[in-house]
Amino acid sequence: MNRPEHSQPEGNQHILVGLGNPGREYARTRHNVGFMLIDRLSVRLDAQGMRLQSDAIVTTARLEDRRILLAKPQTYMNLSGRAVQALARFYKTPLSNLLVAYDDLDLPLGSLRLRPGGGPGGQKGMASTLEMLGSQDVARLRIGIGRPPGRMDPAAYVLQAFTERELELVSEVLLQAEDAALAFVRDGIDAAMNRFNRGSAA
């Protein structure tokens, strides 16, 4: 793998992080929509230089004059913040240029919502990220996976693979999520929220 680029402060440096669990067995599970988004963005932006850095798989892309680091923490979900903090520190990236994408049980499948900050809402990867960064002012892109059926344990539900029918909806919302993430990079969280949160659940 390529060696990490030298750290330097850059006002146009952004980091887009997708949360998930490493390993093929988790690739199509509900908990991994954050990873799915980063994979799609990597293709869309023709990202280069895939490497392991700071407990994350990262690639580098550009959007106009902006440099973007796309990251998938490899620590497993509940320790994700360790990788996010290390990358933000290494690249001297302000929190205003960081966006974290993850699955959300409280949003219906096929929906998404951007938020500029707040608590983790029970999502352990986001909880770890906020704790390690020492702030709740971290923009996030919540991708809905819906609630588990009946009395099913949410912990088991999020590790369950999407059905083929569900994957059709997931593909549609991930396309919207790509656009939302890139709008964040171009225009900031407020403008992206105004565009993509219309009609979304709270």
DSSP H/E element including 140: strand 139-144
Question: Given 18, 22, 26, 31, which residue is catalytic?
Answer: 31
Helix H segments across 45-163? 80-90, 124-133, 154-158
Type of residue found at 79: L
Active site residue 31: yes
Kindly give, in sequence order, each residue whose CB lies less than 8 Å from that of residue 146, ignoring residues fewer than 6 positions away: 105, 107, 108, 109
Of 110, 126, 85, 125, residue with least CA distance to 173:
110
The partner residues of 17 in beta bridges, in order of sequence, read 71, 100
Q: In terms of DSSP H, where are the helices of the chain? A: 33-44, 80-90, 124-133, 154-158, 164-187, 189-196
- 83 backbone dihedrals φ, ψ, rounded to 5°: -70, -40
* Strand 13-18 with 66-73, pairing: parallel
Backbone angles phi, psi at 38, to 5 degrees: -65, -40
Could you list the active site residues?
Answer: 31
